[in-house]
């Protein structure tokens, strides 16, 4: 066992039990994680917008969407930047005491990095299948490079499933990408004995969503097939804090590091 990193948080944007559970025998890492550890469903309350930037921002700031006020990547025609969001994130707070790194947290575009540098494929916005595959591969190489450097806390977020599922929900390619993520998890989780694996929201077919988060078609006229669902996934290993809503992740990290 390598186990060098005290705490590892892996975010998987838009990961849903709706794909994982019926296909669990094809997802050996998820299967092992679920069987051996705590897993749960996070149900986003009615006050949630079910928009990725808002939820990732809550998760790592400990603030509700109402408190931090950040909902979308673009506000008043301008791309929102880190400095426009008036919160302290977990990395801002723990940086004095710990070596904490965050890679590709998608509360802004391109996704945010803390104490590391990374340039995502196509600013992390492409939904082309080859780009999405490359995006997962490149991010995993970078994640392993950071993990090998032995930080105290490492946070990494994969946002490819969100981009894929909007256009391919219900198609076999979706499971292929979950298998790819499963293999990534297998490579990353051996670095730490304290794990949190979480999605910001789930996914469903378009008409099924409580709130439609995107238009029917994108700017190229391509039809969107899926949308965000209010049920997110959670798997934790050796985390002694109950995570019931996104902002609890902030307190769970704080709690673990203060023990």
Which residues contact Zn ion by CB under 5 A? Answer: 13-14, 52, 162, 200
Measured from the CB atom, the residue of 14 and 156 that comes closer to Zn ion is 14
Measured from the CB atom, the residue of 151 and 246 that comes closer to Zn ion is 246
Measured from the CB atom, the residue of 160 and 182 that comes closer to Zn ion is 160
Distance CA 78, CA 191 (A): 39
Measured over the CA atoms of residue 178, residue 181, residue 183 and residue 188, the dihedral's sign is negative
Name the residue whose CB lies closest to Zn ion: 52
Measured from the CB atom, the residue of 162 and 247 that comes closer to Zn ion is 162
Compute the least distance from the CB of residue 165 to Zn ion, in Å: 9
Compute the least distance from the CB of residue 156 to Zn ion, in Å: 15
Compute the least distance from the CB of residue 256 to Zn ion, in Å: 24
Measured from the CB atom, the residue of 55 and 184 that comes closer to Zn ion is 55
Measured from the CB atom, the residue of 44 and 257 that comes closer to Zn ion is 44
């Amino acid at each position: 066992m390598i186990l060098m990193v005290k705490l590892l948080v892996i975010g998987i944007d838009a990961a849903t039990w709706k794909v994982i559970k019926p296909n669990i025998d094809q997802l050996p890492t998820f299967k092992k994680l679920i069987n051996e550890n705590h897993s749960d469903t996070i149900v986003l309350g009615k006050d949630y917008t079910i928009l990725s930037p808002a939820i990732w921002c809550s998760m790592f700031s400990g603030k509700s969407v109402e408190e931090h006020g950040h909902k979308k990547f673009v506000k008043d025609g301008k791309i929102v930047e880190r400095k426009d969001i008036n919160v302290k994130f977990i990395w801002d707070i723990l940086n004095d005491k710990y070596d904490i790194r965050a890679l590709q947290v998608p509360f802004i575009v391109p996704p945010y990095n803390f104490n590391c540098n990374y340039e995502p494929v196509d600013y992390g916005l492409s939904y082309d299948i080859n780009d999405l595959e490359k995006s997962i591969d490149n991010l995993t190489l970078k994640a392993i490079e950071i993990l090998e450097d032995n930080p105290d806390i490492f946070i990494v977020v994969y946002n490819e499933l969100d981009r894929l599922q909007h256009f391919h929900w219900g198609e076999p390619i979706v499971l292929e990408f979950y298998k790819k993520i499963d293999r990534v998890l297998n490579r990353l989780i051996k670095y730490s004995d304290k794990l949190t694996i979480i999605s910001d929201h789930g996914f469903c077919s378009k008409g099924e969503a409580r709130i439609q988060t995107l238009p029917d078609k994108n700017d190229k006229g391509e039809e969107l097939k899926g949308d965000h669902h209010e049920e997110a996934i959670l798997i934790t290993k050796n985390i002694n804090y109950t995570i019931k809503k996104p902002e609890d992740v902030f307190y769970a990290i704080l709690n673990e590091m203060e023990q």
